[in-house]
């Protein structure tokens, strides 16, 4: 007998949210982010709903291979790149694109003997301070790729740390200025904008946008709801009450008694919790 909790996926909501991306960034190609099994929505079902996107972005090479084997011909980008020479062989075989963000990856690319051409997204660290070459390192990294006869199309990219803050915020402006200072002399495609930047920062749209959270119907902003942004929720969780408790004033519920009754009350216990991805009460 199965548990009563269910996650219901609305594929039409994913299609609609992709149209919202197009509305805000009509001149950019869309790299739909489908990492972590499309954020739990199911990789192949989400990809089918998002099939009009020009590309897919993810972390896992096995998931990228699944997309290719399912017949998707779009650009498929590995956001963390590759971790071994063996993975480069898979990238070549399945015609995947890869982010390059550190010197070890450059060295592996230089040592690898490909039979075709590998498309690369070269990542500049403009202030997120997670992945990417510093502005001082970037020119040498780009030149290393350019002289590698196995490297095909090079796209310049960065990631914005605080685009979800108020419109026109100084952090985005500073990161954009840093990126443009490095990229402006390069006649190469560019990719900067995440969901928040798609919605609030048109100067960052460039050749590729990379929507994630907005595709699944969530707002990236604390001050604007998904409904205000015309985003439709792609997942609805439903369950059933499996027990009822009668509390006295002051009784606590759950781990750490994170909820405490301020009066006598009757509460229902719903089948669903941490293991189902439901966050603790705050």
The domains located in the chain, with CATH, are 10-234 (3.20.20.10), 239-276 (no CATH)
- Each residue's pLDDT tens digit, 240-275: 999 999 999 999 998 889 899 999 999 999 999 888
Query: Which token pair is 83?
Result: 């971790």
Q: Which residues pair with 245 in a beta bridge?
A: 267
Query: Which token pair is 150?
Result: 């196995």
What residues are annotated to the active site?
Answer: 35, 255
User: How far from 40 is each of 35, 49, 213, 223, CA to CA, in Å?
Assistant: 9, 14, 12, 25
Looking at residue 201, its pLDDT comes to 95
Looking at residue 207, its pLDDT comes to 98
Which of these, 36, 37, 43, 45, lies nearest to 10 by C-alpha position? 45
Question: Which residue positions in the chain have pLDDT lower than 70?
Answer: 1, 167-168, 280-282
Looking at residue 1, its pLDDT comes to 60
Angle at 73 between CA 70 and CA 74, to 5 degrees: 120
Is the CA virtual torsion 67, 59, 145, 193 positive or negative? positive
Query: Which token pair is 159?
Result: 């990631």
User: How far from 262 is each of 248, 265, 266, CA to CA, in Å?
Assistant: 8, 9, 12
Looking at residue 116, its pLDDT comes to 87
Looking at residue 167, its pLDDT comes to 58
> Which residue bears the tokens 């609305």?
10
Looking at residue 278, its pLDDT comes to 81
Determine how many CB atoms are found less than 10 A away from the CB of residue 72. 19
**How far is Cα 224 from Cα 231, in angstroms, rounded to an integer?**
11
Pairing relationship of beta strands 265-270 and 241-247 according to DSSP bridges = antiparallel
Q: Are 25 and 198 in contact (CB under 8 A)?
A: yes
Sequence-distant (6+) residues with CB within 8 A of 74 are: 53, 54, 55, 56
Q: At what angle do helices 103-111 and 135-146 cross, to 10 degrees?
A: 10
């Amino acid at each position: 007998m199965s548990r009563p909790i269910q996650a219901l996926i609305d594929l039409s909501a994913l299609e609609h949210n992709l149209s919202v991306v197009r509305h805000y960034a009509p001149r950019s190609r869309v790299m739909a982010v489908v990492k972590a099994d499309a954020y739990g929505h199911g990789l192949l079902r989400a990809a089918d709903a998002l099939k009009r996107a020009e590309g897919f972005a993810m972390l896992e090479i096995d998931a990228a291979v699944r997309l290719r084997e399912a017949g998707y011909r779009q650009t498929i980008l590995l956001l963390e790149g590759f971790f071994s020479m063996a993975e480069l062989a898979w990238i070549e075989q399945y015609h995947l694109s890869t982010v390059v963000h550190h010197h070890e990856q450059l060295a592996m690319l230089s040592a690898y003997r490909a039979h075709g051409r590998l498309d690369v997204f070269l990542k500049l660290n403009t202030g997120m301070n997670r992945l990417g070459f510093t502005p001082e390192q970037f020119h040498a990294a780009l030149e290393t790729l350019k002289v590698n006869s196995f490297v095909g199309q090079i796209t310049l990219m960065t990631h914005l740390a605080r685009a979800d803050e108020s419109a026109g915020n100084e952090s985005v402006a500073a990161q954009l200025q840093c990126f443009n200072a490095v990229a402006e002399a390069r006649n190469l495609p560019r990719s900067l904008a995440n969901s928040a930047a798609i919605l609030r920062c048109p100067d960052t749209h460039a050749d590729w946008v990379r929507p994630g959270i907005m595709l699944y119907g969530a707002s990236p902003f604390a001050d604007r709801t998904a409904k205000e942004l015309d985003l439709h929720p792609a997942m609805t969780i439903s369950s059933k009450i499996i027990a009822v408790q009668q509390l006295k004033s002051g009784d606590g519920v759950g781990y750490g008694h994170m909820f405490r009754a301020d009066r006598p009350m009757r509460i229902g216990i719903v089948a669903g919790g941490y293991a189902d991805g439901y966050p603790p009460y705050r």
